[in-house]
Chains A and B, each alone.
Chain A
Amino acid sequence: AQSVAQPEDQVNVAEGNPLTVKCTYSVSGNPYLFWYVQYPNRGLQFLLKYITGDNLVKGSYGFEAEFNKSQTSFHLKKPSALVSDSALYFCAVRRGGGGADGLTFGKGTHLIIQP
């Protein structure tokens, strides 16, 4: 069975400071990893993904994430936080390979950027 852990329910960061939202995963075989963001009363918006290749992936709104196979981690980062980044962030995993598969999500991390 696959699983995702987001160890922090909430992360508080001052505007302009770098931010990190942590994610570790467990899956058989090679993972496909994703980050999504959810604003209040909205659906999930795709931010970025790791499928293969460079361990550092860049996504929307200046976010990036680093895939670390040995630590089974896929932490989300941004060099300079904006107040508008405040939202609920989900990490998700599925088994790699052709076709598609349902995603397994973490519990989510509330990111709060303080002005």
Chain B
Amino acid sequence: DAGVIQSPRHEVTEMGQEVTLRCKPISGHDYLFWYRQTMMRGLELLIYFNNNVPIDDSGMPEDRFSAKMPNASFSTLKIQPSEPRDSAVYFCASSLGRTGGHHEQFFGPGTRLTVL
């Protein structure tokens, strides 16, 4: 398996623009997670899905952030409008949570977002 795939790897945009980050989880995994990493706040959980359904979005910073999972092999995290304080590395991870699953989460390479 290719592992968790994220695109783009780097994104530079201007304040006020819409940004869409993409993730393809490992095939067969039933959980998908979005995390954000910054120097100040470390790694934070933003939202996670189970079988394409959002379970906990309490970590989403504000209404400018939204996430969708239209099918088992694709998820997006959208920021509209973007602000400089959104600059961070955004990670997607997936895991197998059903009975017999392995519990650990497998992370993608991340998307480094810079908002000017």
Contacts from A to B (Cβ < 8 Å): 32, 34, 36, 42-46, 49, 51, 90, 98-108
For A104, the closest partner residue in chain B by CB is: B45
B residues with CB within 8 A of A: 4, 30-31, 33, 42-43, 45, 48, 50, 56, 59, 91, 93, 95, 97-99, 101, 103-110
Number of A-B contacts (CB under 8 A): 56
Across the interface, which residues of A come within 8 angstroms of B103, CB to CB?
Answer: 32, 49, 51, 100
5 tightest A-B CB contacts, nearest first: A100-B97, A102-B45, A105-B43, A43-B107, A100-B31
Complex Cα gap A104–B48 (Å): 13
Q: Across the interface, name the chain B residue whose C-beta is closest to A102.
A: B45
Tell me which of A51, A100, A102 contacts B59 (CB under 8 A): A102
**Contact present for B42 and A108 (CB under 8 Å):** yes
Instruction: For A103, give its contact among B50, B98, B105 (CB under 8 Å).
Output: B105
Residue among B42, B50, B97 making CB contact with A107, cutoff 8 Å: B42
Chain A residues with CB under 8 Å of B107's CB are: 36, 43-46
Write the chain A residue with the least CB distance to B98: A99
How far is B33's CA from A42's CA once the two chains are assembled, in angstroms? 17
A100 to B56, CA, bound (A): 11
Q: Which residue of A lies closest to B92 (CB)?
A: A43
